[in-house]
Amino acid sequence: MVLHFLIQGRVQGVGFRWYVHREASELDLRGWVRNTEDGEVEVVASGNDKDLAELRASLRRGPRGSRVDRLVEHYLDDAEAANLDSFRIEGAW
């Protein structure tokens, strides 16, 4: 299963991408996380239902200092998973 998340709130400048990377890596999910130009954080993650549910719960909590106002979620076609490797942060450097 492949999910796309868009996290809105105070999610940039608070270590949100690093938090997502750690949580997703511990769950052995594949995919990526990045900041958007609109001040949101975008996540694409592939894995089993249970692990994705755990990631969803982590995204709702966020790291210390963040505030999640809204979590938008969409299912992507399973073919999208073919291009995903171990979880990474995009645009971090």
What residue segments make up the domains of the chain, in order of their start?
2-77
Could you read off the pLDDT of 44-83 as tens digits, one per residue?
Answer: 999 999 999 999 999 999 999 999 999 999 999 999 899 8
Q: Which residue has the higher pLDDT, 13 or 92?
A: 13
- The catalytic position among 17, 48, 64, 88 is 17
Could you read off the pLDDT of 2-42 as tens digits, one per residue?
Answer: 999 999 999 999 999 999 999 999 999 999 999 999 999 99
35 carries an active-site annotation: yes
pLDDT at residue 70, as a whole number:
98
17 carries an active-site annotation: yes
> Could you tell me which CATH number the domain at 2-77 has?
3.30.70.100
Tell me the pTM. 0.94
Cα separations in angstroms, 53 against 14, 29, 37, 38, 93: 23, 11, 27, 26, 29
Vertex 68 angle, CA 61 and 24, to 5°: 50
- The catalytic position among 22, 30, 34, 35 is 35
